[in-house]
Structure 1
Amino acid sequence: MKYVLITGGVISGIGKGVVASSIGTLLKSCGTRVTSIKIDPYINIDAGTFSPYEHGEVFVLDDGGEVDLDLGNYERFLDVTLHKDNNITTGKIYQSVINKERAGDYLGKTVQVVPHITDAIQGWVERVARVPVDGDEQEPDVCIIELGGTIGDIEGMPFVEAFRQFQFRAGKHNFCNVHVSLVPQIGHNPSLPHTTGEQKTKPTQASIRELRGLGLVPDLIVCRSVSPLTKAVKEKISMFCHVESERVLSVNDVTSIYRVPLLLNDNNVINLLAEILKLPIETPRRNRNLVKWKDLADRYDRLLKEVTIALVGKYTQLEDSYASVIKALRHSALDCNHKLNLKYVDSEDLELSTQHDDPVRYHEAWSQLCSSNGVLVPGGFGLRGVEGKILACQWARKTKKPFLGICLGLQCAVIEFSRNVLGWKDAHSTEFNSSTTKPVVIEMPEHNPGQMGGTMRLGKRRTVFQTENSILRKLYQNPKYVEERHRHRYEVNYDLVPQFEEKGMKFVGHDVDGKRMEIMELEDHPYYVAVQYHPEYLSRPMKPSPPYLGLLLAASGKMQNYLARGCRNSPKFSTDSDVSTSDEEIVDFASAKEGATSGL
């Protein structure tokens, strides 16, 4: 077993996850079996109880693991299915050690960070690294491990010490340390493309010095910078960091993350890893997978037509809060040969201006919503901003605007329909109003309110289609059922479903017991679809998620051609139609406000 440890220096958030995913992609393209592990030094057991503003989105795996969003990068790039044990946290390690201590496994010894915690980390890595992925009978050849945080962080010290020991445990040619560091460019002005600032190496030198002082020696240094490193800068880093100049890799800013594997390939990273790890890699002259990546990156750069999607959410101040949603939208837009113009609409701003005394933000929010080609209402928790999401659902329904609701988005669409079509003005979810006379969304019986972590309906579940006359079933290539990942505590009230369907809101997908409503489609609408699950978790750059693809097809005017061809070929081969918003489709603010008032 070979191990590649990815560490980071200078600052966090410089792209360790993308570098790790890209290295894995290159190795996999050469026929190497690859798995990944993400280490997060926080004491939480998992990411499930984080606020979206604290740590970005919570990514959910097939087995129900609530993990760091970087595991989403690994799954998307490598097209593999990982498990909750592929995410290691300080909380998990300490919990396992304490459980052993309580069971008497340490035979009365004093339990300490060294050796007990460090041994537990090494044992966990070895165990998980050997688990076959995606039904492969053989264990992986290479495990890529990303150590979260920055070298020098106090919470990461036990992990650094564990890997200092682990490099000897694994063996000389079985362990490689790739250190990702920032090379700032002082004086660089993006608005003046012909001017370049001076690339500063001191932060990288300091980071490598600290890494070496902790007992880890980098085999490769990946330098993140605005522009490609000059030869002189590479040689300077090589000299002061004791690494050969060809092992100093330049990863500068590029037009899309699809170009990062190609950039690393240009840096000869495959041959370098093969040399360091003694991997039996024979790089073909024309690697088919790399050709696909290059085609993907080239198409992304050549996109001319634009499609505008309004993301009506509660956590719009931080893009990482909707990382998988945004990537799923981009995958689908690219497949439709359109550039995604994503507008973030804070759902609170759509509510009546008298509620927050900021009419400017109110009108700007409605302007962005009304000028979009499609509307997406994603998941979320808590009462804040829910009425704004309900108003967005109402506007999309009444104006025939393409709409996709995810999780809470489905529930908001049901609440809106109950109030304005069925006439149940008090309709609500018991999550937000426990005393409502019309509980159209209710708490699931197995939800355990006594504990927050891991108590939702989590992981991959089966959804069975109830009819062949379903647009989403056609987009899924007409299967009898689909399996998607869930993360929710509340569900549509089954007892009220017949009254919804009588008025045209069809629940075309149920769970295997027929009691949970999983997919909703509205009659007499070009694309008004909502799902209880989170399809974004399974979206891939070259295999977009069908519900998201449907939204982008409808928003870009390609839906009918795609359906007419039996949903067989990629939408990029269909006839384009101009994406525009007619005067009739744009609701003026007075009408919007009148509609908003009627929805409350």
Structure 2
Amino acid sequence: MSKYVLVTSGVCSSLGKGVASSTIGSLLECSGLKIAMMKCDPYINVDAGNISPYQHGEVYVTEDGAETDLDLGNFSRFTSVNLTDEACISIGKVYENVIQNERAGRYNGRTVQVIPHITDEIKRCIRHMGTTSGADVVVVEIGGTVGDIETVPYLEAARQLVRELGKNNAISVHLTLIPVITGGELKSKPTQNSVKQLQQVGIQPDVLICRCESEVEDSMKQKIARFCNVTPGAVFVSPDFQKSIYELPVIFHKQGLDAMILSKLGLGNRTTDIRQWTDFLEKLSNPAKKIRIGMVGKKDYLDNCYKSVHESLFHAAVTGNNAELTVKKIDAETLEKTQDIDQVFADVDGIVVPGNYGQRGFLGLLATVRYAREHKIPFLGIDLGMQLMAIDTARSLCGWEDADTTEFIQNSTHPVISLPEEQPGPNDGVMKLGASEVHIEDGTKLYSIYNSSNIVERHRSKYTFDRRYAAAMTEHGLITSACAVSDKQTEAFEWKDHPWGIGVQYHPEFVSRPAKPHPLFNSFIKAAIQYRK
């Protein structure tokens, strides 16, 4: 039977509960245990697919095509777990399941209520994860903050799970904040109040993780343990990291967090091998070169909007090329108005245009692609970034000034990008989500990167390149280097007379890990280093 670690947080949001949960999962995995990861989100949306990245960060896509919370990206990068749709539930999905059961008469005419029906469904999903994964330990991150009304069903379900499974099989890890007030004094009262709120719903935390700007003295930890009714030594500190979130596994291991959790779960003495993290940090601390990449996105975009792309560049720089990475954020809408685009890109060694939706900033993104092509700067386009390569070629080289995507302009005479159902032939109009097979053309740069004719990559796309224009694109130096095995849609472009210019329809960023960078990002960073020289 699987054991469960239930991770909650209090005081305020954005304390890093997803990273803390991921770190716990990583340390347990480094201890030789099979783990599973799960996120319980309090929003009513059935999934994260329609939530603005400005509100909730990027949409992370699993291999089986689920559009999920960005914390699953952290789960994937910190562990080796292959996440699925079952790894992320929202309260909207829970209510949807319960309503479907009620409509099917599965409750035998009983009144359907939050307790027991909603909480039973939450418990069923959590237990099901343990059963189907066969994991020794399931780490469950419960979204939201203790005290918020939307977290109540999850907390009640967690309380029941701890009681039903027993303290050796389900433990509570609570993340709180120790603020630093004027004068540098640390205050423990917010942590005490947060734990009190958790106790009021019937959960006594077994382990406390306290976010703080700096280290916390043992006397403060002992005070917190005493007032929060936790075992002495069960209070840990998550300080601000110096260079990377990947410092956390080493920090927590040195404090003994993994040993404490293993002890609480009755899993005995185990050796935790964290060499993958110490090796990564060693490379991070001793770079042999520096690299600066320009990432062009929508106006004032937040780092979390393109979280996986940023992390993939980071992995490729540190592990793949022993380089120190700086990412320059560039606003596409500002580019539309700038008079000196040369100055914007003067200090970058490579340019990335990640996936985007909507027309805002389109001309700035298009100008970026054209600049990278004309000035031979290493360029990586993902999703819309790849589609813009076709639009740029059509407008700049083919002379089709009105060439566009039907996502933005419906009456273009040269709709080089459109919905599959708008294109000639029997095309499927369903949005492509999740992993599917891609065929790479021999002799292309993409083939030399993968060294394989067939690969599997994850997708999140609806609009595609219209293959009627393929011959014209090739004639003007834009080569089709990959296509989908299932529907033959174009999956990748590359510029013929360019040192490194590749666009892909799929999303390689979703599978990159710190110790195993994705080959496409690895090759891109290597090309950027050569360009810098």
Q: Which TM-score applies when normalising by structure 1?
A: 0.85
* Aligned pairs for 1:268-279 within 5 A: 268-279=256-267
1:141 is aligned to 2:161: no
Query: Deviation per CA, 1:550-578, whole angstroms, max 9, x where unpaired?
Result: 221111118xxxxxxxxxxxxxxxxxxxx
1:172 is aligned to 2:167: yes
Which of 314, 325, 329 is the aligned partner of 2:298?
A: 314
Which of 544, 547, 564 is the aligned partner of 2:517?
A: 544
Q: Distance in 1 between matches of 2:487 and 2:132?
A: 35
The one-letter code sitting in structure 2 at the alignment partner of 1:471 is K
Contact 1:220–1:248 (8 Å) recurs in 2: yes
1:217 is aligned to 2:190: no
Query: Deviation per CA, 1:253-289, whole angstroms, max 9, x where unpaired?
Result: 12211110011101112221121111144216xx2xx
The one-letter code sitting in structure 1 at the alignment partner of 2:256 is N
Q: Displacement of 1:204 after TM fit? A: 0.4
Contact 1:345–1:369 (8 Å) recurs in 2: no
Q: Tell me, what secondary structure is at the counterpart of 2:421? A: coil
Q: Distance in 1 between matches of 2:173 and 2:253?
A: 15
Structure 1 partner of 2:475: 502
Q: Distance in 2 between matches of 1:237 and 1:70?
A: 28
Structure 2 unaligned runs (5+)? 424-428
1:475 is aligned to 2:462: no
Structure 1 partner of 2:82: 81
The one-letter code sitting in structure 2 at the alignment partner of 1:60 is V
The one-letter code sitting in structure 2 at the alignment partner of 1:146 is E
Q: Distance in 2 between matches of 1:366 and 1:84?
A: 44
Q: Displacement of 1:363 after TM fit? A: 5.5
Show structure 1 runs of 4+ deviating over 3 A: 363-366
1:299 is aligned to 2:283: yes
Q: Distance in 1 between matches of 2:163 and 2:220?
A: 32
**Identity value in percent:** 40
Contact 2:263–2:269 (8 Å) recurs in 1: no
Structure 1 partner of 2:426: none
Q: Distance in 1 between matches of 2:36 and 2:526?
A: 34
Q: Distance in 2 between matches of 1:326 and 1:121?
A: 33
Which of 240, 250, 253 is the aligned partner of 1:265?
A: 253
* Aligned pairs for 1:292-441 within 5 A: 292-303=276-287, 305-314=289-298, 316-334=300-318, 335-351=320-336, 353=337, 362=338, 367-441=343-417
* Aligned pairs for 1:62-73 within 5 A: 62-73=63-74
Contact 1:345–1:365 (8 Å) recurs in 2: no
Task: Describe the shift of the 1:316–1:332 C-alpha distance in structure 2 as closer, same or farther (beyond 3 A).
Answer: farther
* Aligned pairs for 1:172-251 within 5 A: 172-187=167-182, 197-251=184-238
Which of 439, 442, 456 is the aligned partner of 2:431?
A: 456
The one-letter code sitting in structure 1 at the alignment partner of 2:392 is E
Query: Deviation per CA, 1:154-180, whole angstroms, max 9, x where unpaired?
Result: 001011011111111212210110101
1:4 is aligned to 2:1: no
Q: Tell me, what secondary structure is at the counterpart of 2:132? A: coil
Q: Distance in 2 between matches of 1:460 and 1:185?
A: 45
Q: Distance in 2 between matches of 1:446 and 1:260?
A: 49
Q: Tell me, what secondary structure is at the counterpart of 1:49? A: coil
Q: Displacement of 1:514 after TM fit? A: 6.0
Contact 2:299–2:333 (8 Å) recurs in 1: no
Q: Displacement of 1:298 after TM fit? A: 2.2
Q: Distance in 2 between matches of 1:365 and 1:199?
A: 47
Structure 2 partner of 1:465: 440
Task: Describe the shift of the 1:226–1:494 C-alpha distance in structure 2 as closer, same or farther (beyond 3 A).
Answer: same
Q: Displacement of 1:445 after TM fit? A: 2.3
The one-letter code sitting in structure 2 at the alignment partner of 1:103 is A
Task: Describe the shift of the 1:146–1:542 C-alpha distance in structure 2 as closer, same or farther (beyond 3 A).
Answer: same
Structure 2 partner of 1:583: none
The range that moved more, 31-40 or 268-277, is 268-277
Q: Displacement of 1:315 after TM fit? A: 5.2
Q: Displacement of 1:236 after TM fit? A: 1.3
Q: Tell me, what secondary structure is at the counterpart of 2:412? A: coil
The range that moved more, 525-534 or 512-521, is 512-521
Query: Deviation per CA, 1:387-440, whole angstroms, max 9, x where unpaired?
Result: 111100000000000000000001111100111111111111111111000010
Q: Distance in 2 between matches of 1:298 and 1:206?
A: 39
The one-letter code sitting in structure 1 at the alignment partner of 2:323 is H
1:131 is aligned to 2:132: yes
1:114 is aligned to 2:99: no
Query: Deviation per CA, 1:95-138, whole angstroms, max 9, x where unpaired?
Result: 01000111111111111001111111101111122223xxxxxx
Task: Describe the shift of the 1:446–1:261 C-alpha distance in structure 2 as closer, same or farther (beyond 3 A).
Answer: farther
Q: Distance in 1 between matches of 2:394 and 2:269?
A: 60
Contact 1:527–1:551 (8 Å) recurs in 2: yes
Contact 1:36–1:129 (8 Å) recurs in 2: no
The one-letter code sitting in structure 2 at the alignment partner of 1:465 is I
Q: Displacement of 1:336 after TM fit? A: 1.1
Structure 2 partner of 1:14: 15
Contact 2:393–2:476 (8 Å) recurs in 1: no
